[in-house]
Amino acid sequence: MSDATEQDHHFLSRVLALAQRSRDQGHHPFAAMVVDAEGNVIAEAINASSSDRTAHAEMNALRLASQQFSPQQLASATLYSNAEPCAMCAGGTYWSGVGRVVYGMSEASLLALTGSDPENPTLALPCREVFARGQRPTTVIGPLREDEARLAHEGFWHK
């Protein structure tokens, strides 16, 4: 997408590598990080939903960031995720105050990979639709580099 910056591509590369590490550690292949306006990583996390179904990577990173920074401070931050935030994670992003989201693979592409795998019953609700219902704007950039974002997921899901 034309709105993506060099910094966006840098942090997306980092989050894609983190998603692969998540898979290598036996977790679902999802990762997220929150980066402030100056380019400092203020939180990063992998998926831990095998023990807590709400512990998606985005929610874990948002919880860490929200413990340290107010919604006003997070308004200029960006959430980077290897896959489009689900409805829960989009809601968490909104409530945390994070003002910008950059993601790799779309929910539709993720669904094509996961099929009906009970480990990832995806919601067909794009994050843009969730954010559009809010009272403040959230900038969304993605999907970006979907082929690269798919790599950590290939062969992982049982259809």
The residues that are catalytic are 58
Pair of tokens at residue 52:
């807590």
Taking a C-beta distance cutoff of 8 angstroms, is the pair 149, 26 a contact? no
Give 157's contacts (C-beta < 8 A, 6+ positions apart). Answer: 113, 114, 115, 117, 119, 120
**Would strands 78-83 and 31-35 be described as parallel, antiparallel, or unpaired?**
antiparallel
